[in-house]
Homo-oligomer: A and B are copies of this chain.
Amino acid sequence: MRPRIYLAGPEVFLRDAAMVGARKKAICAEAGLDGVFPLDQGPLPEGLSRAARAIEIARRNEALIRGCQGVIANMTPFRGPSADVGTAYEMGFARALGLPVLAYSNDGRGFFVRTAAQFGGPARLARRADGDAEDPEGLSLEDFDLTDNLMLDGAVVLSGGAIETEAMAHLPAAGRIAALDSFARCVRALAARLRAG
């Protein structure tokens, strides 16, 4: 049986989410992996409230991850300088289970530069007595030469991998989120690793 790989990412919010999911699964299949896309689920029970439907989707996604041998996460920024929180949650969930977590981001800029850009650039930042940069709202910026929050980069590095990036910050969000070259590199890396045991 081919190893099952959970495909986490904000592409589920795209209009053509199902098509992107199908392309991701095809790339997995070429590498001998079975991609599991969160939208590939049976119908929900009838008669649930909207909130209860959502919680049932969360429960099913957790069960899907438990049935997988690895996760590839799309860390491309989503509505702000960081990855989608649902994706971040799933990365943490998989890490705690001991699954390898690989990831990619199609932004290409580092986390510090991207966060500073949200506030109009580094010139808009203050400097604290301890040297940390601070945004105009009084919150510090992580400045560790990483792709995103250190827990997310940590998941990938502590899994023994590296985040694959692609410099597409100039593209509209939907195009950036849908692009799959860096994803394909993650798939090949994970397939090689699972083959090596």
Chain A residues at the B interface, C-beta cutoff of 8 Å? 10, 13-15, 49-51, 53-55, 57-59, 61-62, 65-66, 78-86, 88-97, 115, 118, 128, 134-135, 137-140, 142-146, 148-155, 157-158, 172-174, 177
The count of identical subunits is 2
What is the chain B residue whose CB lies nearest that of A80?
A: B80
What is the chain B residue whose CB lies nearest that of A144?
A: B54
A138's partner among B14, B61, B82, B152 (CB-CB below 8 A) is B14
| Dominant secondary structure at the A interface | helix
Q: Give Cα distance in the complex from A94 to B93, angstroms.
A: 7
Assess whether B146 is in contact with A51, with CB atoms less than 8 Å apart: yes
B-side contacts of A152, CB under 8 Å = 85-86, 89
With A82-B80, A85-B148 known as contacts, the answer to whether A54 contacts B153 (CB < 8 A) is yes
Q: Give Cα distance in the complex from A157 to B55, angstroms.
A: 7
B-side contacts of A86, CB under 8 Å = 88, 149-152
A158's partner among B62, B81, B151, B157 (CB-CB below 8 A) is B62
